[in-house]
Structure 1
């Protein structure tokens, strides 16, 4: 592929490339580039925010380059201070390795694993072997003033919040990773810009050609405000069940919908604009939900999440629904999965009860004079973590039985027939009294 065409693919959706000219020259060199992504596996679960960077790595793979997924098992023991208002508790090497295993398994849903385009490394390989003399030489390449240019360090310093000396070593360690790997390109979110620039400086110090930085924007979560994060419960996991993923994607705020298309799919801006114009925001949401639900239902997502993939499921991009059967069994199965997830979403949206809800049997010993306290019922059904949580949700009109809002926290319920319990908009459980034979 011509360098200009390859650059256009890589540049789409990026926040900044340092520098585009350098990247174009590297792409034009004809050699296989080494594309680095460093991750500190402090949390083992991946969501679509992580997928933004991983998909860009996949695009490099599709262009024939090798991506290096670098697990920061050693730097994880320091703790990345990026965006932190206080010192992050360090992890043990065993903890980072355990989290890394889960991270890598999920990343395989996006990244190709062929040896010619994929490499998995751990930075304890080289950081654990550095002598103290070498650490001093590396540290001499940065000044305290440069470190305090970082927004998080600057803020903490001016507010009198302690900064550990070991935290200054983190960007140096990450930068040295690029030296050890001889990286041509390093990927990261915009919050990693300082650390990635350090890598360029250290490569120059060690006589290497400095890496190009490809910075990706941070994906806003389902709350439309904060970046996607599991801790904020505004995330869509890459391994979510199809019905859950579809439902969550239909909740993407209108204000950020087009950005989701740009960062998570390969539909052009013009195609997305036409979608919104013809089908409105609801129609565009459905296309996004169908496209991503189908993609992530596969063992490995397709190379390109574009019109061709969407229409392979039997849809037309400009139309509301399916107009034909898919051409091969794999596409037919994906179309069935998406249709099932969409039907479940529509059923709940209309106030109905989906067919595939779990059933929980209640032990007769829990009843007193054939009745059970409503808060206890919801707890036993698994819809609340405790009786207290159930009481609070009842006070906020967040629980229903057979479609009726529960308003009395002291209500006693008779279980003479199966009941449908509901929490919020779409969490359902069918409860029934266990038979004496099973109790």
Structure 2
């Protein structure tokens, strides 16, 4: 139950009790539990926030249970409205297929490919008839959907709520039934879909309701807002060890406990040792974050590359590879990275700057910057190549 977050202690205890009971039942039946999590391939690249449920799936794998990585190639045609206060754009089947091809490959950086079942929910959802949908929908009221925060906000603002958006929860509930799942893993934004919709659908269809493992949402590198590529506070999976290590080191100290519980392989006992060390002063926050960055990096790139990334970070920041005298310049918060590089004469032109960014040759405090159109998230030492440095401060 590490990392779980239900917003209701009674619900958490109920799920915990059901999980224990289901484990005992499965043991008597000499079978593993059937665990799954669904992923809608609406974007091609995943970031650390997407890996939170994958880490929980891996825990179940390591305990000997059956794990299904469900690609929502049918639900993606609607788009999950759970964490959105606007209508999601509908993807074409071609876009979904293209994005879905990359998901399993990225997921196998965490999951054991030999122990992971890959399925696509079009396998059963595409076969449902209109009569089937009527029967399933009869289990829900309009009021249930309108009390959800995202729909409620749109209703109060007078924004449109489209009927097909309510189908998403029903479709996800049918996923759980179709696979006869024992446990479904998801984030807090999936609470309604899993606890209300899936359990109701499974019960209606004559199956034992699945058990919800609801996980907290990983904040971005700002430590506050949900990790998102569009907000520029994400840590991508498809990067390199040095970049991942540096980005984890950039998170605020306050975010370390959340990161430790949601995206590491550490046990509760491991985390307690670190937290106790921070409380009694025997462990410096910088050293604790170094342990965290190494653990996260190692889980994706292996021990050797994680060690190399740590050594590179230490050389750059703890052994003062940055020159003692670095010119300082004042920038505005809304200037793009490319504009800053040109204004500081770190590159000869925007095209040169764009090329350096693409080659991962531009860093802020040792963290590789990947989007030349975005403004800087914080002040620090901006580095281009190996020899050009400037300390940037906001006006």
Which band: TM-score by shorter chain? 0.7 to 0.9
Cα 1:164–1:400 change in 2 (3 A) is: closer
Equivalent in 339, 361, 369 of residue 311 of structure 2? 339
Q: Does 1:382 align with 2:382?
A: no
Tell me which residue corresponds to 1:219: 218
Tell me which residue corresponds to 2:331: none
How does 1:93-112 map onto structure 2 within 5 Å?
Answer: 93-112=93-112
Cα 1:216–1:352 change in 2 (3 A) is: farther
2:282 is paired with a residue whose SS is helix
The normalised TM-score by structure 1 is: 0.71
Q: Report the Cα offset of residue 275 of structure 1.
A: 3.7
Tell me which residue corresponds to 1:297: 301
Equivalent in 13, 16, 21 of residue 20 of structure 1? 16
Cα 1:334–1:84 change in 2 (3 A) is: closer
Alpha-carbon distance in structure 2 between the residues aligned to 1:226 and 1:193: 19
**What is the RMSD of the two structures over their aligned residues, measured on CA atoms?**
3.1
Q: Report the Cα offset of residue 380 of structure 1.
A: 3.6
1:37 is paired with a residue whose SS is strand
Cα 1:142–1:401 change in 2 (3 A) is: closer
Cα 1:165–1:338 change in 2 (3 A) is: same
Alpha-carbon distance in structure 2 between the residues aligned to 1:232 and 1:147: 28
Cα 1:400–1:279 change in 2 (3 A) is: closer
Q: Which runs of 5+ in 1 are unaligned?
A: 1-10, 299-330, 354-372, 403-417, 426-439
Answer yes or no: is the 8 Å Cα contact 1:46–1:106 preserved in 2.
yes
Answer yes or no: is the 8 Å Cα contact 1:185–1:213 preserved in 2.
yes
How does 1:109-188 map onto structure 2 within 5 Å?
Answer: 109-114=109-114, 117-188=115-186
Tell me which residue corresponds to 2:227: 228
Alpha-carbon distance in structure 2 between the residues aligned to 1:238 and 1:48: 6
1:279 is paired with a residue whose SS is coil
Alpha-carbon distance in structure 1 between the residues aligned to 2:383 and 2:124: 59
Alpha-carbon distance in structure 1 between the residues aligned to 2:379 and 2:250: 21
1:142 is paired with a residue whose SS is coil
Q: Whose Rg is larger?
A: 1
Count of residues paired in the alignment:
343
CA deviations 1:58-115 (Å, max 9, x no partner) are 000011111111111111111111121111110011111111111211100001112x
Greater RCO between the two (CA within 8 Å, min separation 6)? 2
Answer yes or no: is the 8 Å Cα contact 2:241–2:306 preserved in 1.
no
CA deviations 1:33-53 (Å, max 9, x no partner) are 111101111112222212221
How does 1:83-98 map onto structure 2 within 5 Å?
Answer: 83-98=83-98
Q: More displaced, 45-54 or 271-280?
A: 271-280
Q: Report the Cα offset of residue 338 of structure 1.
A: 3.5
Tell me which residue corresponds to 1:238: 237
Alpha-carbon distance in structure 1 between the residues aligned to 2:220 and 2:125: 34
Q: Which runs of 5+ in 2 are unaligned?
A: 7-11, 326-343, 358-370
Instruction: Specify which structure has the higher proportion of helix.
Output: 2
Alpha-carbon distance in structure 1 between the residues aligned to 2:248 and 2:381: 24
Q: More displaced, 285-294 or 167-176?
A: 285-294
Q: Report the Cα offset of residue 125 of structure 1.
A: 0.8
